[in-house]
Amino acid sequence: MSATVSLSKSEKSYIRTALGELSPIRADGRSLLDYRSIALETGVASLANGSARVNIGKTAGEESGSGTEVIAAVKLEVEGVLEGEGVDGGRLMCTVSCSPAAYPHLSSAALDDLSYDMTIILNQCLSHPSLHPKNLVIIPKRRSWLLTLDVIVLSDSGNVYDALFLAARSALCDTKVPKTRSVQYQPKSNALGEQDVEMSAEAPASIFSTKEVKSTADFELADYWDEGEPLDINQEWPVCVTLNLLSAKSLPTYFLDATSQEEAAIPLRLLLLFSFSPSGTRLQSMRLMGDGEIQLESMTQLLESGENHARKLFQALKNKLQEEDFRRNQKALARFDLR
Amino acid sequence: MSTNFDRRRINGPEDSFSPVLVDDDEDETKWRPGKPRQSRQPQDIRPIFLQPGLISQANGSAYIETERTKIACAVYGPRQSKNVGYIERGRLNVQVKFAPFSCHKRRAPIRDAEDRSIAVLIHQSLVSSVRLELFPKSTIDVFLTIIENDGIDSCVATGTVAASTALADAGIEMLGLVTSCAATLMGEEIWLDPNHDEATAGASTLVLACMPALNVVTSVWQNGTISPKQGLECMKACQERCETIHSIVAQSLVSNFTPE
């Protein structure tokens, strides 16, 4: 993983010394465990099934052009299981593309590598079977939804992984899977092979009866209005917390939400992805990135504090998503009534 | 339901099915998810065959085999970096290629042979062990060829061991030998060094790379769902096993060493 900005040795040492002080100093005046302000909006892409835009670190008063900005959108496509690449039960695919505008000094090959690395991290975590949504099936063993999650990094001023997963989680929570109904064509018994067929719509075929499955030929969208059900997974979609490790010897010290300068100065990062559901806290992914090493004993403490930070972030995001949902549904309806 | 349906012809079915080629339904002895582990204990690893110096034209090389994972690694360098300006620290370049016949599905050469995600993970495990500050303006190339693949986790772990052995064989200065071990969470049990079937059946997989001589961890990579407590247990189990692997690596290097 290449650093996104290049700094001189003295600049790096300046940042590192300031962070390592007894009372640490950061360029923007935050304490080690402070996040920059996070802005989030869902439903930004009207043609997508679910979408979200996240900005970390936009300074108040400025319209745009500062902070880390990421857009995520979910598109659902119908896929045949028998023909093509589809699998029974549906698939989830994530792609990250980094805009050249976000990384102006990277060559196009380096940019591709960076996008690929981010894609792998997102894909390995989110398309793991433990997070697979159950309602991506249209007709068992025949048709399923292919869920593609595309994330675009519009600008990067540090902490891009947290932003990626915030946007991914918001877009996935925002996603509505269209309701479908299985449809069957039955030729009339006396006129076998004739053109006139009778159409009967039935409830989604049960998985237990193979006879029903075979007879279902196609499906139709159940609703005229563009609505559907949210994705149905056993757990919650995870949130990411990046711990930037200052020293990982016996007493680990770290800071959160690094700017790109700080990222260049402190090479070692620990990515932790947690998912919080009523059944308990689950670690969904963990990854050490960068040049450096840590002691296993310090991992206990890092995991513990990472979990605390992730829980706060998760709760804040949950509240914000509810607020967004309210804004887009109830408020919009109320405004519609006023007219 | 085509509109011009010709009844005089023999019409085939609307859908066709590709034949199922794998016939593992009959085999009673085959391991299946839910069964206890076959032929070894949960905390056991597969036997390792490690031979440094098999590729004579390379500065250093190693071949590793753990049952059905077979990886060859060659190290070239340190040599002059091409097409770049002055760099103060040397560069460690890791490339992983799959042989076309290494997986169930054919990996087409050139188009589909390279896997950057494995290379990134192996690079992560190795980079802090090599004293790159001693090699300004130069590159150390580590080329890995996966001859047989039995799970990505196992490839990352054994690939790291092979690469570290090859680096030592090339006489490149390092802070310590890097060894690596994978684990999977099967129910409530931790199974070390899983093969492909076990890794896919497990709820979560974890690969840990460390330098046992210095007691530091250089890479952790976990995927899937696991409780934080079990995650720590996995890491501890892996680190313990890495010490065993360390002695295997050291022994193979010593027995290959011929004083000039």
pLDDT tens digit string along B3-40? 667 778 877 777 777 776 666 556 667 777 777 887 78
Please report, as a single letter, which amino acid is at residue B44: D
Find, among A298, A69, A73, A238, the residue nearest to A171 by Cα.
Answer: A73
Q: Tell me which chain A residues have a C-beta less than 8 angstroms from the C-beta of B220.
A: 270, 286-288, 299
User: B128, A185: Cβ pair inside 8 Å?
Assistant: no
CA distance A51 to A172: 7
Nearest CB among A82, A275, A285 relative to B222 is that of A285
Q: How far is B61 from chain A (nearest CA, A)?
A: 24
User: B228, A281: Cβ pair inside 8 Å?
Assistant: yes
* CATH classification number, B48-254, choose in 3.30.230.70, 1.10.287.70, 3.20.20.150, 1.10.10.410: 3.30.230.70
Residue of A nearest to B88 (CA): A9
On whether the CB atoms of residues B155 and B69 are closer than 8 A, the answer is yes
pLDDT band with cut points at 50, 70 and 90 for residue B51: very high
| Chain B CB within 8 Å of residue A27 CB | no
On whether the CB atoms of residues A294 and A269 are closer than 8 A, the answer is no
Q: Count CB atoms within 10 A of the CB of residue B199.
A: 23
Q: Tell me which chain B residues have a C-beta less than 8 angstroms from the C-beta of A113.
A: 116
Encode chain A (339 residues) as per-residue pLDDT tens digits.
445 677 888 998 898 888 888 888 888 888 888 898 899 998 888 888 889 999 998 876 666 557 899 999 999 988 888 777 778 888 899 999 999 988 888 889 999 999 999 999 999 999 888 888 888 888 888 888 899 999 999 998 889 999 999 999 999 998 888 887 777 776 665 544 444 444 444 444 444 444 444 556 777 777 666 578 888 887 789 999 999 988 756 677 889 988 888 888 888 899 999 998 888 888 999 999 988 888 888 888 889 999 999 999 999 999 998 888 888 877 777 877 776
CA distance A203 to A182: 6
Nearest CB among B206, B217, B222 relative to A293 is that of B217
For B167-214, the DSSP string reads: HHHTT--BSS--EEEEEEEETTEEEES--HHHHHHSSEEEEEEEETTT
Find, among A160, A82, A155, A88, the residue nearest to A122 by Cα.
Answer: A160
| Chain B CB within 8 Å of residue A307 CB | yes
DSSP helix, strand, coil percent of chain B (3-state; round to 5):
25, 30, 45
How far the first Cα of chain A sits from its last, in Å, is 53
Q: Tell me which chain A residues have a C-beta less than 8 angstroms from the C-beta of B225.
A: 128, 130-131, 235, 275, 282-284
User: What does the DSSP 8-state code read for residue B95?
Assistant: E
User: B227, A283: Cβ pair inside 8 Å?
Assistant: yes
Annotated domain spans of chain B: 48-254
Nearest CB among B211, B214, B225 relative to A282 is that of B225
Residue of A nearest to B223 (CA): A285
CA distance A135 to A145: 9
CA distance A30 to A27: 8
User: A296, B225: Cβ pair inside 8 Å?
Assistant: no
Find, among A73, A115, A119, A124, the residue nearest to A95 by Cα.
Answer: A119
Q: For A93-140, what is each residue's pLDDT tens digit?
A: 999 999 998 888 888 999 999 999 999 999 999 988 888 888 888 888
On whether the CB atoms of residues A155 and A65 are closer than 8 A, the answer is yes
Give CA angle at B204 (B203, B208), nearest 5°.
160
Find, among A139, A143, A144, A142, the residue nearest to A201 by Cα.
Answer: A139
Beta-strand relationship, B216-226 and A280-289: antiparallel
CA distance A327 to A330: 6
On whether the CB atoms of residues B58 and B125 are closer than 8 A, the answer is no
Lowest mean pLDDT among A201-205, A272-276, B124-128, B144-148: A201-205
User: What does the DSSP 8-state code read for residue A268?
Assistant: -
CA distance B233 to B230: 5
* H-run or E-run covering B78: strand B69-80
ipTM score for this prediction: 0.83
Q: What is the pLDDT of residue A213?
A: 43
For A125-179, the DSSP string reads: HHTSGGG--GGGEEETTTEEEEEEEEEEEEE-SS-HHHHHHHHHHHHHHH-EEEP
Q: How far is B118 from chain A (nearest CA, A)?
A: 10
Query: With the C-alpha atoms ordered B89, B245, B206, B212, is the resulting torsion angle positive or negative?
Result: negative
User: A195, B3: Cβ pair inside 8 Å?
Assistant: yes
**Domains detected in chain A:** 9-179+223-338 (3.30.230.70), 180-222 (no CATH)
3-state SS assignment for residue B67: coil
Residues 196 through 225 of chain B touching chain A, CB cutoff 8 Å: 203-204, 206, 210-211, 214-225
Q: What is the pLDDT of residue A308?
A: 92
Q: For B192-249, what is each residue's pLDDT tens digit?
A: 999 888 888 888 999 999 999 998 999 999 999 999 999 999 999 999 999 999 999 9
